[in-house]
Structure 1
Amino acid sequence: MSSAAPLLLSPKEVNLLKQSPTPISILDATWFMPNVARNATDEFLSKRIPGAQFLDLDDVASPHELGLKHMMPDQKKFSQACERLGVTPSSHVVLYDTHSVFSSPRALFMFRSFGHQNSSVINGGLPRWVHEGLPIERNSPSMIPSSHYEPPHFDARLIRDYQQIVENSKLDPQTNPDAEIVLDARAHGRYLGAVPEPRPELSSGHIPNSFSLPFNLFLQKQGTPDGEYTTFLPEQELRAALDNVVGAQYAEKIISGERPVVTSCGSGMTAGVLWLGLSLLGAKNIGLYDESWTGYAMRPSSKIVKTA
């Protein structure tokens, strides 16, 4: 559908892009955990990159049998959202969030899954944009005309469902070459079952035969006089983080595409951070468990491993 853009852009690169004739759609894809007393829409209205529109990942989603939020939309829902946001098939979509790097990779995963390769994430998000002294907008968002976006093809191979995860969890990835390597982006304490989940009444622990790779291990903090923001690690350090979790041999096979890998997290959001980090390393055969731990642990039949 569209040519591939860089996965990551710096704020200054985006600011230059805004001054070029290339059609650009800047989308704020901020999302907060349900136990956080912040509202993404309100924060967008109070401060944003000039010309940005708000992409509500909970709204642009398919219904789920367990009532889960921000599940991947179908083709019609995605195209309608693009039209509402003024995105055309030729637009360079630039995504950011107010955390720095948190929910914007999930939004990028969505666009790329629908073949919109001309899409990027601002590395460091709004905090880095502000730190670098680039302009922000505080008045009412500008109204944009709707566009036309034909429902695109969705690459269903990129998504794993519950049954696929259950069947794969029976295979030991260290002895069975058919096993997909599942990487869990949640905090390590939640993976072990030693720390409770932020969602009430949901057990912590992990999927059998999965690996713990907290998403923040792919990120680095950048200090500023006004605080700090996060960006992705350089490629060499990303590779070292992956090696430390699965071993250099498996990491090499993941990057070459010989061993498929699936990213998971609490609800399918920060699994996008792992997906993007792996993509930066050149890995191709990457899936995402859409409902992630919330959907898995809600089902009474699920086998939960606790190793605390």
Structure 2
Amino acid sequence: MSSTTAVAPLLLPPDAVNKLPTTRDVKILDATWFMPNSTRNARKEFATRRIPRAQYLDLDEVATPSELGLMHMMPSERIFANACERFGITPSTHVILYDGHGVFSSPRALFMFRTFGHTNSSVIDGGIPRWLAEGFPIEQGEPQPTHEQTTYPVPELKTSLIQSYDQIVKNSQMSPSDTAQSLILDARARARFDGTAPEPRPGLPSGHIPGSFSLPFTTFLREHRSPNGDTYTTMLPTPDLHRALLNAVGPAVAESIINGDKRIITSCGSGMTAGVLWLGLELLGAKAVALYDESWTGYALRSSSKIETST
């Protein structure tokens, strides 16, 4: 079992990362991920532009496929440890994560590290688009292979923070008055939650898990425009996060989340942007926020699942 004693800030601005020492105690990972129907390619963009000394973390490869063959599921302890060793990461390394959207897939990568006890980990708020907008240097061309390899003891996964299909079904069958019931927050767009817009995955019905709440991940983000016209996102400041949560789910639910009166589970389309909700709730001080790893894709693929719509 491995864990870190240092607890790094969840978010770091680009200037703070640029000032970090260029030592083996700091590793930078590009965790960019695009939807399967996107025309953009994360590996090609990594070769085109990346933060100096960054390595590419493929969240679809550092993963253990589910019984349904879903991608970017949480890796096993051994797969995670092996990946850390390839990146030259030790249990004390400060791991800096970023993505090409600003804030999109990097929170999921941060959730992975934190759930394995690697608390010395952070996300660059605004990712590489903000890094470029603020004038910091980049590397280009095919990255040189790293020959550095470390030993990373197999960690212990905090299993209470990963929810399975059976746990989600059991939770949805509980009465809202049951103190053991968790609040499920769905990060998908509201129309997909309501069942009035299709899912991006062909053949998958839209709608939502019974008893869940809609909280689109964009609710926690602020959009910016860089000097070259590109747009990117950053997390909202904490006071704005609180207001956004209150407006989305109402005062009673928002306060129960912040006060820790009920356990929270975040979900989305495939377990990726649920990480954005997790990060926002962590910044708000919510306790032990869990994530439904398979999310809506895993839930809706099963014919036995009960699906609600708002129509």
Match of 2:113 in 1: 111
2:262 and 2:82 map into 1 onto residues whose CA distance is 35
In the alignment, is residue 247 of structure 1 matched against residue 250 of structure 2? yes
Q: Which SS does the other structure have where 1:45 is aligned? A: helix
**Contact in 1 for aligned 2:129/2:226 (Cα 8 Å):** no
- Tell me, which stretches of 5 or more residues in structure 2 are unaligned? none
Shift of 1:63: 2.3
Q: Deviations over 1:252-287 (max 9, x none)?
A: 221222211000000000000000000000111211
The RMSD of aligned alpha carbons is: 1.2
- Contact 2:130–2:226 (Cα < 8 Å) also in 1: no
TM normalised by structure 1 equals 0.97
Q: Residue 235 of structure 2 corresponds to which residue in structure 1? A: 232
Residue in 2 aligned with 1:262? 265
| C-alpha contact (below 8 Å) 2:164/2:293 kept by paired residues | yes
State the one-letter code of the partner of 2:16: E
Residue 102 of structure 1: aligned partner:
104
Q: Percent identity?
A: 59
1:16 to 2, 16, 19: 19
Aligned AA (1:82)? C
Other-structure match for 2:282: 279
Distance 1:63 1:223, change over 3 A: closer
Quick one: which amino acid aligns to residue 230 of structure 1?
Answer: T
Partner deviation per Cα, 1:5-39 (whole Å, 9 max, x = no partner): 000000000000135x5710000001111111221
Q: Deviations over 1:38-86 (max 9, x none)?
A: 2111111111001000000000001211000010011100000011111
Letter in 2 for 1:252: E
1:163 to 161, 166, 185: 166
SS of the counterpart of 1:17?
A: coil
Map 1:136-215 onto structure 2 (within 5 A). Answer: 136-144=138-146, 145-173=148-176, 175-215=177-217
Say if 2:40 is the partner of 1:38: yes
Is the Cα–Cα contact under 8 Å of residues 172 and 209 in structure 1 kept in the other structure?
Answer: no
Give the secondary structure class of the aligned counterpart of 1:304.
coil
Task: Report the equivalent of 1:55.
Answer: 57
Q: Which runs of 5+ in 1 are unaligned?
A: none
Shift of 1:172: 4.1
**1: distance between equivalents of 2:175 and 2:190?**
20
Scaled by the length of structure 2, the TM-score of the pair is: 0.96
Inter-partner Cα distance in structure 2 for 1:234 and 1:290: 27
Task: Tell me whether 245-254 or 61-70 shows the greater mean CA deviation.
Answer: 245-254
Runs of 4+ in 1 over 3 A off after TM superposition: none
Q: Is the 8 A contact 2:269 2:297 kept in 1?
A: yes
